Amino acid sequence: MQNRALEDFIDRHSRLFVLTGAGCSTNSGIPDYRDRHGNWKRTPPVTYQAFIREHATQQRYWARSLIGWRRFGNALPNDAHHALAKLEATGRSNILLTQNVDGLHQVAGSKQVIDLHGRLDMVRCLGCASTTSRSTFQGELTRLNDAWLTVEAADAPDGDADVEEDFSSFVVPSCQSCGGVLKPDVVFFGENVSRDIVATAKSHLNEADGMLVVGSSLMVYSGYRFVQMAAQNGLPIAAVNLGRTRADHLLALKIEDRCEAALAFLL
């Protein structure tokens, strides 16, 4: 019955603003951050301030990422991604704004996508802003730290791995152009989303006739603010999420189900 209500909601709107979060990718083998109550499941991720200030934090981040990327980099879209690509292909969404950094919406075929928090498959220099692909950078990390390839660890969100070792011997490459610090081209906690990205997303929201949230607790303000804007614009808002969201009081419809199950009718 609930899923029929979601089907009816989507049928009533032709310019949906879609916002997705980690729950959209869990069935692709990428863990999420929060439990059903919106609380952290594990230690919160590294902050931008710690990463740029402490070489030890860079060593820890890249060592764990070297291990985690082996599976994260090979993740494939699941039915939730394919369903949202179908929603776009049939002309019922005007944009997909994702908080995820895995690029799986694009792999599934979605074309109108804004990566709110960037993409993990690129690495950017904080000095000269030059970029390189993560696959190339992974090769360099591996060449300099081959002993770490034998480490096994459970996956953590966003290509991280649950590893606690002495990271002091881990070699972090510098930018080949300027010697600067290299960082994944994503927005870390404590870092601001680009104003241009926010403005572009807001312009799409102003053209929408409804909003659909898929797999996000909306506990992070960078995503939650768009739900606030939608409510201020008088747009009806539906959400698919297992557990509490920060915007429960603003929703016209909420479906507590796995994303791929709730959206299966689109396929």
Summarised one tens digit per residue, pLDDT across range 33-72 is 655 655 654 566 789 999 999 999 999 999 999 999 988 8
Burial class (CB in 10 A: 0-12, 13-18, 19+), 196: exposed
Report the pLDDT value the prediction gives residue 221, as an integer from 0 to 100.
93
Predicted confidence pLDDT, tens digits, the chain (267 residues) = 567 999 999 999 999 999 999 999 999 998 766 556 556 545 667 899 999 999 999 999 999 999 999 888 999 999 999 999 999 999 999 999 999 999 999 999 999 999 999 999 999 999 999 999 999 999 999 999 998 988 888 777 777 787 888 899 999 999 999 999 999 999 998 899 999 999 999 999 999 999 999 999 999 999 999 999 999 999 999 999 998 999 999 999 999 999 999 999 999
pLDDT, residue 150, reads 85
**What is the distance between the alpha carbons of residues 158 and 181, in angstroms, rounded to a whole number?**
20
Structure confidence at residue 235 (pLDDT): 98
Q: Based on the residue annotation, tell me whether 82 is a catalytic residue of this protein.
A: no
How high is the pLDDT of residue 157?
Answer: 74
C-alpha–C-alpha distance, residues 249 and 224, integer Å: 12
Q: Looking up tokens 């479906």, which residue turns up? A: 255
**Of these residues, 13, 81, 117, 204, which one is catalytic?**
117
Q: Is the dihedral of CA 247, 253, 257, 261 positive or negative?
A: negative
Residue 255 and residue 160: Cα distance in Å, rounded?
29
CA atoms within 13 A on the CB side of 234: 0
Partners of 115 in the β-ladder: 98
pTM of the model: 0.93
Predicted pLDDT of residue 44? 66
Write the CA distances from 202 to 96, 194, 197, 205, 208, integer angstroms. Answer: 12, 12, 9, 5, 10
